[in-house]
Structure 1
Amino acid sequence: MKILMVCLGNICRSPLAHGIMQHLVEQEGLDWEIDSAGTGDWHVGQQPDRRSIAVATKYGVDITKQRAQCFQPDFFERYDYIYVMDNNNFRDVMALARSEEDIAKVRMFLSQDIVPDPYLDEGQFEPVYQMIEKRCHELIRELRK
């Protein structure tokens, strides 16, 4: 199974989701591929935000090897599931969909809410980490069925 996590710049939320999910998948012994991307290209090639790295490290998750990339239409072919962090990401990814099959792969990461972007609020990195970790555990249970 191949899963892509998507946020705006691919330096805060989606790298956390990518790293947490990869960490959990490895613990479970699952042969899943996890990756992340952003809908914007401002940070392409950069490491995740230092605050995302710090909170992930605190919980034993290493995201330092990740590099930001911009979502491309061919990602629809490469991934089975594409999880987006908020409504703007959803709209931007859906605008690149070329078929009903592409559309069917795109889902909100949180089914009833959005993952807030902590970029401008230092105090949000910890709650965002907790929110993402909880959802990653749920996704593994859901996707294993």
Structure 2
Amino acid sequence: MSVPALPAATGPGYRVVVVCLGNICRSPVADVVLNDRIAAAGLDVTVDSFGTGGWHTGEPMDQRSAATLTAAGYDPTRHRAQQFRGAHAAAYDLVLAMDSSHHRELAALGVPAERLLMFRAFDPAGEGDVPDPYYGGPQGFDDVLEMIERTADRLVEALQR
């Protein structure tokens, strides 16, 4: 699988945002993992996360996501949910949607097509949606973390180029 080309930076540094539905499960996990990998690589890249909905704004991530991250050695404590709005559309060099419904919503909010990709476009195991573990059991959170870690590794490689 080839890695998609990254859009050019619009300013100093590079800004990436990961977006899911409520910003309490998938996108905050990706935010934490990507920030960890980017810091280890010494890259000048900022990563944020948002949800398309505002139900959880200001709340920490889902306890099951936080527990999964903690068990894997990450620190999930800084996260607070926030909602992606149209004003954010031009603020990021790369906008990564966790599933196809988020991709459609982000496009409708004005994210330029050349800056909007699916998160798993970088997954060496294949493209598609990152499944929402919210209504499932603990294994779903483990599976999502594994998917995000391998995708983050490939994304960091692309950012290093």
Q: Are the counterparts in 2 of residues 85 and 115 from structure 1 also a CA contact under 8 Å?
A: yes
Letter in structure 1 aligned against 2:46: E
Match of 1:134 in 2: 150
From 13, 26, 35, the equivalent of 2:39 is: 26
Letter in structure 1 aligned against 2:87: D
* Percent of residue pairs bearing the same amino acid type: 39
Shift of 1:84: 0.5
User: Runs in 1 of length 4+ with deviation above 3 angstroms?
Assistant: none
Shift of 1:55: 0.7
Shift of 1:103: 2.1
Q: TM-score, normalised by structure 2?
A: 0.85
CA distance in 1, matches of 2:60, 2:77: 6
Describe the superposition over 1:83-113 as per-residue Cα deviations: whole angstroms up to 9, x where unpaired: 0010110011111116xxx221110001221
Structure 1, gaps ≥5 residues long: none
Match of 1:118 in 2: 133
From 51, 55, 67, the equivalent of 2:80 is: 67
Q: Are the counterparts in 2 of residues 76 and 105 from structure 1 also a CA contact under 8 Å?
A: no
SS of alignment partner, residue 120 of structure 2: coil
From 105, 119, 139, the equivalent of 2:115 is: 105
Q: TM-score, normalised by structure 1?
A: 0.94
Structure 2, gaps ≥5 residues long: 1-13, 122-126
Shift of 1:133: 0.5
CA distance in 2, matches of 1:57, 1:107: 28
Shift of 1:74: 1.8
What is the number of equivalent residue pairs in this alignment?
142
